[in-house]
Every structure is written in C-alpha cells, then in structure tokens.
C-alpha cells in the first residue's frame, strides 16, 4: 500500500482562488518532505523542501509567498497555491524519505491542478 498519501488527486478552480494540497506520510515520520511540479512532457522540478517545525527552503525561482508550505507535524506537509492563475496549472507531487533498513524516496500520488 501507499506510504505517502496525497490529496486531492485533482483540483479544478477559478483564477484567483487558493488551493491546498496535503501530503501525509503513513506509518513513518518524515522530518523532511519535498514538493515537486511537473509540466506536460517535462521533468519533475523540485519546488521546495519542507522541514518539520521550521520554514521551508525554496528553490530558485519559486515564489515563497505564492506557494505556502506548512510542515506542522512529522506526518503532514501542506502546499497552498495562493491566488492561482492558469499558468500554475500543473501536476504537483510530494515525496518523503523514509524506510528501514534502506532509506528510499516515496512519492505521493500527485495532484493535477487546473486553473480556469
């Protein structure tokens, strides 16, 4: 079964609204989670690293005021796309590192965001 749960799987919203995406690690504690974005026919691009109890670290070119990340617990990180615009339409995926004995990178199932 999935070890990282991501919701919702699909969102359609109007331009100007905010959208929250949740990422939960199941059965393990993830002090660090990662948020990626993938445009059609392009690679996964790391947007930010979410650290439990502290501010997220954003990659160059990613607006921290537009993509709000909260990692309030060891099992939950949220990404909020504020004032979404059509160009924000993309596939957003979270991941968390964990696993014993070998640490692996587990991905959520992704969220397809469509902004009208």
Partner 1 sequence: RKEVEQDPGPFNVPEGATVAFNCTYSNSASQSFFWYRQDCRKEPKLLMSVYSSGNEDGRFTAQLNRASQYISLLIRDSKLSDSATYLCVVSRGGYQKVTFGTGTKLQVIP
Residue 8 CA to residue 15 CA, distance in Å, equals 18
Instruction: Work out whether 46 is an interface residue with partner 1 (CB under 8 A).
Output: yes
Nearest distance, CB of residue 76 and partner 1, angstroms: 18
Tell me the CA distances in angstroms from 62 to 3, 65, 67, 81, 104, one per residue in order: 27, 9, 8, 11, 25
One character per residue 2-41, x = contact with partner 1 (rule: CB under 8 A): ----x-------------------------x-x------x
Stretch in the footprint of partner 1 (CB under 8 A) among 11-19, 67-75, 81-89, 107-115: 107-115
Query: What is the torsional sign of CA 99, 71, 47, 45?
Result: positive
Residue numbers 56-85 binding partner 1 by CB under 8 A: none
Contact of 54 with 48, CB cutoff 8 Å: no
Contact of 112 with 91, CB cutoff 8 Å: yes
Among 83, 109, 114, 116, binds partner 1 (CB under 8 A): 109
Q: Identify the bridge partners of residue 95 per DSSP, sorted by sequence position.
A: 34, 107
Residues near partner 1, by CB under 8 A = 6, 32, 34, 41-46, 49, 91, 93, 95, 97, 104-105, 107-110, 112
């Amino acid at each position: 079964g999935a070890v990282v749960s991501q919701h919702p799987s699909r969102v359609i919203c109007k331009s100007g609204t905010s959208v929250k995406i949740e990422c939960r690690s199941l059965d393990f504690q993830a002090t660090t989670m990662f948020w990626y974005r993938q445009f059609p026919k392009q690679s996964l691009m790391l947007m930010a690293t979410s650290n439990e109890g502290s501010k997220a670290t954003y990659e160059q070119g990613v607006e921290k005021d537009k993509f709000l990340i909260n990692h309030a617990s060891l099992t939950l990180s949220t990404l909020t796309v504020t004032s979404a615009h059509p160009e924000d339409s993309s596939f957003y995926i979270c991941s968390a590192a964990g696993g014993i004995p070998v640490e692996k990178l587990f991905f959520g199932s992704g969220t397809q965001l469509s902004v009208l």
